[in-house]
Chain A
């Protein structure tokens, strides 16, 4: 039953206009000391002349505006967020508290090193945990996100090839078709040429396919393990050996490291470089899309080329080496030392779990995924469901599509059920993919409820209720949004002219 209110509000759900529509030119929510109103003599006549046209709000209006917006968001603290390959797990608030300690938050990256010894010690500790967990001898902490970490790893490979005098000859990087889109994009950004390894029917990368592509022009391979189909690559060690034998390096995309943390060390598999998404494996909050952090662990062969800054220990005192002069460092990834605020949260999370708890993290993540697979397999097509999956379950729409319901419709129906949907249409190698990742922080009861809902929806598909799915969502803050319209005539900001035109039209 639909009922339109005068205000556009729906009970507690309040319609909220843009700041630019409701704010005022003189509105402000800060009480700053009055400037003396001097002549700004040192601006050299370059002062801003025109008005800025930035609207402001008082403090209570600001609070209300953003609280109302927040109420239109789904979040892990509200319920299951089963985004395969992306992952949203419980975000412990102890991490937030630690990151806000004055001694971390109110610290400038260029303070004299005598005043930042604790921060450098924290970075060393984090590095130690990452190296022990991965079995790798070095780590570059500065990459600011997963894809930035991939870039760091590929640049380290390039630097190592340069040192061997082979940078000009080894330009080709093998990338499986099933890899994250960042992998080919990163390889190109690092100046390589991408050579795709086609997907096989079982969703895995095969040694034969890799060997067939090897040659003296191959710089290396970028593989994701566990891969984007939620599977562990059984031939990974042999693939790594083959790459090394051919003179290339093995980049492992560590986006899915949460599936094996404490159980398998990438160093034992022959990995030369791997980034670790701290938000994913070690639960730093993702805040609607970021920030991330992508430290990159490196093998002995690549370690000398790690970018600056490096922490150097002299006795008990730690110092920073910030220039690559006299070292093999390939350069610098960003202005300062990386995502310190994320390091604090990740280390807090690691210490809370410890070696035993982190192993349990991987085991419970894998157990939860396989439990969902076992419950959903009878009702949906699971393309690789004959064997155990890792941390995520891959289903596709082949059993529902003939009846007129697609992956996107299933996702939108889940919204009405109060669930964030799975990842839709990824990985690309599976048609109509639905990739579900429950993570280790979901209780069995929640998994059962989610499975019950999915099964009930499958039954509705079987009952031929196509229109029910096409109309979804009905109960979310908004009905289905038109992506095509947004892309065809992009409107990316509020503009005063458009607003005036609308006003005139109204008059």
Chain B
């Protein structure tokens, strides 16, 4: 067993130093009968060749996005990640470090966290960022709970443009605390409906822009109405590259801006690990969940970084903590920071412009197919289209033609009554040929 360095001779020698005759003497506190006599019923150890072959075989049963004409977004996006990002995060000193509990020998991790917090807050026009969350959906759930803590109110209103999985995740967390979730019906654009829900019992309205259907929204009216009613406005998102081209929630005065950071630096990874971004106005700092790095000085007066504000956290406050979270998405956050550093303002703007350009082409190409209606009029890189047939069947048929067309709304929310709606997305990874292939294949499938 190549990962286990002790030899049998070591083990014997160590047992004699301990004063034990067998290893099971060290398990003496385990109740009689609970100590297994036999090995569990699983395969024995395998060498690197066999394990590699097995994992390869499983991987080959999948169709990776890059082997198709790929147009699926809805919460996870396929972008180019420069080769140096993965190279850097695989450096031993980043990859195999633990939480920076000893800051004097963890400045690499801590400075990268501080840079991440600075970049995220800058990108989202917000005052303060934490050191990342599990993903966008759990970040959004934490935002809902935080809003309830801040306002001491119990009702959370979700726009019908928020990703249904985000609403479900928040519902799980909020209902456990006795909070009430009001989820408006799925809608391409429901600004007026959100404003109409505001009242003295509302802790927060949660809106997404770009939303599930790709719609981008001027959040000014919703923010004015929310603040007028004493509620917070939470702006969430699933596609963070959008803010290279459009105004983020912070620019509209949102109190919490949070969402998914996967688009920068991180592969699709079948849904995780991802990196949740979470930012707040400074006045809510001590209600913010999650880890945070801060600047300080060392004994020689030199600038350095530490994990700070831990008095909000579970290991100090236990049952009074702001949340039970005791981790961040370390490596994914590092990948985000490295990729964002490579992009810079120039690169991010260029990337965002390319995405919008490709999506605009996609919208024209699909809209030209008979019976297809593009529903999203203001968008970044994602749109919803209405098909003359149930969308799930069309998606399934297009697989055979080498196209992964998007996600049927019926899969995300079967009760929305939008079975003919398809959510589709284009990024800088899509070529003109991909778009042409998609449009042709769609026409053929619809004609069948």
Contacts and interface: CB of A to CB of B under 8 A. Distances in A.
B63 A492 contact: no
Contact of B298 (A46, A342, A481): A481
Interface string B84-107: 101011111111111111111111
A337 B74 CA distance: 14
Given A339-B273, A491-B294, A48 B246 contact: yes
Nearest to B351: A32
B371 interface: no
Given A290-B330, A478-B107, A334 B137 contact: yes
A116 B399 CA distance: 12
B122 A52 contact: yes
Contacts of B145: 189
B342 A57 contact: yes
Interface stretch (A141-149, A213-221, A394-402, A452-460): A141-149
14 contacts: A74-B97, A108-B76, A144-B138, A262-B40, A288-B108, A289-B327, A291-B327, A331-B168, A355-B40, A388-B20, A421-B102, A424-B101, A444-B5, A493-B118
B62 A490 contact: no
Contacts of A359: 36, 39-40
Interface stretch (B152-160, B226-234, B307-315): B307-315
Interface in A91-143: 91-92, 94, 96-98, 100-112, 114-119, 121-122, 125, 129, 132-133
Chain B CB count within 10 A is highest, among A33, A287, A423, for: A287
Given A74-B102, A92-B3, A66 B378 contact: no
A342 B26 CA distance: 31
Interface residues of A, number: 205
Interface string B244-257: 11110001000000
Contact of B117 (A102, A112, A122, A493): A493
A381 interface: no
A319 B136 CA distance: 25
A435 B34 CA distance: 27
Interface in A274-312: 285-293, 307
Given A83-B101, A182-B326, A370 B314 contact: no
B138 to A, nearest CB: 5
Given A35-B357, A353-B3, A189 B343 contact: no
A359 B45 CA distance: 11
Interface in B95-132: 95-109, 111-115, 117-119, 121-123, 128-129, 131-132
Contacts of B359: 42
Contacts of A12: none
A479 to B, nearest CB: 4
Return the 5 tightest CB-CB contacts between A and B, nearest first.
Answer: A56-B344, A336-B271, A103-B59, A118-B61, A287-B331
A435 B137 CA distance: 35
Given A32-B350, A70-B94, A268-B34, A291 B4 contact: no
Interface string B277-292: 0000000010000011
A371 B115 contact: no
B341 interface: yes
Given A57-B344, A335-B136, A480-B104, A493 B128 contact: yes
A191 interface: yes
A73 B59 CA distance: 33
Contacts of B64: 102-103, 105-107
Nearest to B11: A367
Given A288-B330, A490-B294, A148 B138 contact: yes
Interface in A375-400: 375, 387-388
A40 interface: yes
Given A29-B82, A342-B272, 11 more contacts: A98-B55, A108-B76, A147-B326, A158-B176, A237-B31, A263-B27, A288-B106, A291-B332, A335-B166, A338-B271, A480-B299
Interface stretch (B193-201, B316-324, B439-447): B316-324
A115 B399 contact: yes
Given A265-B36, A289-B98, A353-B3, A103 B346 contact: no
Chain B CB count within 10 A is highest, among A288, A344, A487, for: A288
B285 A490 contact: yes
B331 A94 contact: no
A201 interface: no
A251 interface: no
A412 interface: yes
A164 interface: no
Interface string B156-173: 000000010110110111
A27 B348 CA distance: 11
Given A35-B353, A366-B23, A486-B295, A111 B138 contact: no
B239 interface: no
B193 to A, nearest CB: 19
Contacts of B91: 66-67, 70
B172 A490 contact: no
Nearest to A52: B345
Contact of A288 (B98, B314, B414): B98
Contacts of A356: 39, 44-45
A53 B97 contact: no
A96 B338 CA distance: 19
A226 to B, nearest CB: 9
A245 to B, nearest CB: 17
B173 A189 contact: yes
